[in-house]
Amino acid sequence: MERNKVISIVNQKGGVGKTTTALNMASWLSIYAKSKVLLIDTDGQANLTACVNIDKNKIKGSTYDLLTNDNIKAEDIIYKDNSILFDMIISDERLNNIDLILNGVLARERQLSRKLESVISKYDYIIIDCSPSLNLATINALVTSDYILIPVQADYLSIRGTAKLLESINKVKEQLNPKLDVLGVFVTMYDNRKINDKNIYETIQEQFKEKAFNTFIRENVRLKESPIEKKSIYEYDKNCNGFIDYYNLMIEIWKRLGGQVNDK
Ligand X SMILES: Nc1ncnc2c1ncn2[C@@H]1O[C@H](COP(=O)(O)OP(=O)(O)OP(=O)(O)O)[C@@H](O)[C@H]1O
Give every CB contact of residue 21 below 8 A, 6+ residues apart in sequence: 9, 149, 151, 188, 217, 246
Q: Which stretch binds Mg ion (CB under 5 A): 15-23, 69-77, 114-122, 144-152?
A: 15-23
Sign of the CA dihedral running 47, 49, 54, 59: negative
Cα–Cα separations (whole angstroms), residue 207 to 1, 146, 253: 28, 22, 19
Strand 37-41 relative to strand 147-153: parallel, antiparallel, unpaired? Answer: unpaired
Query: Contacting ligand X (CB under 6 A), which of 27, 49, 68, 220?
Result: 220
Q: Give dist(CA 216, CA 185) in Å, integer.
A: 10
**Does residue number 21 form part of the binding site for Mg ion (CB under 5 A)?**
no
Q: Do 93 and 121 meet the contact criterion of CB atoms below 8 Å apart?
A: no
Q: Among 166, 157, 164, which residue's Cα sits nearest to residue 185?
A: 166
Neighbours of 229 (CB within 10 A): 12
Find which of Mg ion, ligand X, none residue 20 binds, CB within 5 to 8 Å per kind: ligand X
Q: Give dist(CA 92, CA 210) in Å, integer.
A: 36
Query: Contacting ligand X (CB under 6 A), which of 4, 14, 164, 192?
Result: 14
Q: Do 256 and 183 meet the contact criterion of CB atoms below 8 Å apart?
A: yes
DSSP character at residue 238: T
Output 33 or 137, the one with its CB closest to Mg ion: 137
Phi, psi of 239 (to 5 degrees): -115, 10
**Does residue number 35 form part of the binding site for Mg ion (CB under 5 A)?**
no
**Does residue number 47 form part of the binding site for Mg ion (CB under 5 A)?**
yes
Q: Which stretch binds ligand X (CB under 6 A): 16-24, 100-108, 112-120, 196-204?
A: 16-24
Contact mark string toward ligand X, 44..83, x via CB under 6 A = -x-x------------------------------------
Contact mark string toward ligand X, 116..155, x via CB under 6 A = ---------------xx-----------------------
What's the one-letter identity of residue 191?
A: D
**Does residue number 258 form part of the binding site for ligand X (CB under 6 A)?**
no
Computed over its alpha carbons, how large is the radius of gyration of the chain? Answer: 17
**Does residue number 204 form part of the binding site for ligand X (CB under 6 A)?**
no
Query: Contacting ligand X (CB under 6 A), which of 15, 110, 122, 166?
Result: 15
CB of 87 to Mg ion, least distance (A): 19
**Does residue number 5 form part of the binding site for ligand X (CB under 6 A)?**
no
Applying CB under 6 A, which residues contact ligand X? 14-20, 43, 45, 47, 131-132, 188-189, 217, 219-220, 223-224
**For binding to Mg ion (CB under 5 A), which residues are involved?**
18-19, 47
